[in-house]
Structure 1
């Protein structure tokens, strides 16, 4: 079974959210949720769609005879103590409510459009020197920053290159960490950049280990613009 098909994921997610998926099937599906992000997103979408519908249903209290039959079945009461069976009206009412709920879902589901999570487009910047040689390739994607150093980067032993984000609103530069002098690196973006528009990226020369103040202390060597991919 291909669990990555959108229609199949939606069908499984609806069954899981409504509780009609039970037993081994539910346990197996919970294992798949740990493996596939798209399945978890489908469950989240349908929970947002269906939970408000379920919350509007009024709770139905079972007839007292139901509890009595349960206690007898478990051996908590003797059979001769059980009262005579009552009318089946309770079960008819319960069935009617369930039927109404199912009809409501049938009418509602075709109108529900799955909510697609907002994806922030990836952005790319190429930091160049004065000879237009590429030094670093910076990829800004979701909450991750990926940096690839090129062979044109001049290695330093007593200092470091530090990358900065320059906010469009004029706030002070925000450090994005040290730049690799070779190979590549990947790190999470700091929470302080959330919600801010980027005017440019900048590279400064800092003491070994980075700026001691949280702001650029050395000369700004390079700047670069992020371009949407």
Structure 2
């Protein structure tokens, strides 16, 4: 008696995974493979029928087709004659062995195709998953003082760049930089060199404060900075942080 034939879909899934760890593809991966046109004819026909009756899956396919469409705008589809394709394969991969063996395994090539497809999809998705660096800027100044700075915060480096525009150091005192949100108590970013441009590293715990809802200020403090952890002297310059 002939052995029962395995289900075509299960065979494709097993071949596409290449291992026993992954047993079936998610609908999102299937939709991407369907849009890319890399599936075998029988599975593609099955998914085409599913697109007609499964609205959520049809939406996934439409999203992937829209995402992939810009990649094909400069290329016209072309069906190669078998002889031409064999010549291209020969040029790219060299002569094929005369007998069937490891490198002729359909299961292997489908597994490699599945791995390549997965890598391609991950490459497309990575830019969307990466956090977008944030840059904030503020003009720090105040009435009654000549001290003016331009502050720029870059979340990618975790640093505040302070460009000194005007104002002199005050003998026997230090300039201290602060950040605060609304009416919250300010957090010190440390003592800065007075009346010069500089860069200040923002520690990991304080970076959460660095948003467009915050403002920065520079106060006049005793040498070494405020002894209380809060501003004790007059505010020489202050300004809101804005997205740039």
TM-score (norm. length: structure 2): 0.50
Residues 106/192 of structure 1: CA separation in 2 closer, same or farther (3 Å cut): closer
Matching residue within 210, 221, 240 for 1:206 = 221
1:122 CA displacement:
1.2
Counterpart residue number, 1:193: 206
Matched, 1:115 2:131: no
Counterpart residue number, 2:114: 104
Q: Is the 8 A contact 2:177 2:192 kept in 1?
A: yes
Matching residue within 8, 20, 42 for 1:58 = 20
| Paired residues for 1:66-215 under 5 Å | 92=102, 95-112=105-122, 113-116=124-127, 117-130=130-143, 135-142=148-155, 143-150=158-165, 152-168=166-182, 170-196=183-209, 197=211, 198-215=213-230
Q: Is the 8 A contact 1:123 1:139 kept in 2?
A: yes
**RMSD of Structure 2 on Structure 1 (CA):** 3.2
Aligned residue pairs total 145
| Paired residues for 1:6-21 under 5 Å | none
Residues 93/129 of structure 1: CA separation in 2 closer, same or farther (3 Å cut): closer
The unaligned stretches of length 5 or more in structure 1 are 1-53, 60-87
Question: Greater RCO between the two (CA within 8 Å, min separation 6)?
Answer: 2
Between 111-120 and 153-162, the greater mean CA deviation after superposition: 111-120
SS of 1:100's equivalent in the other structure is helix
TM-score (norm. length: structure 1): 0.53
Q: Is the 8 A contact 1:147 1:179 kept in 2?
A: no
1:193 CA displacement:
1.7
For residues 94 and 167 of structure 1, the distance between their equivalents in structure 2, rounded to whole angstroms, comes to 65
1:207 CA displacement:
0.5
The unaligned stretches of length 5 or more in structure 2 are 1-15, 22-98
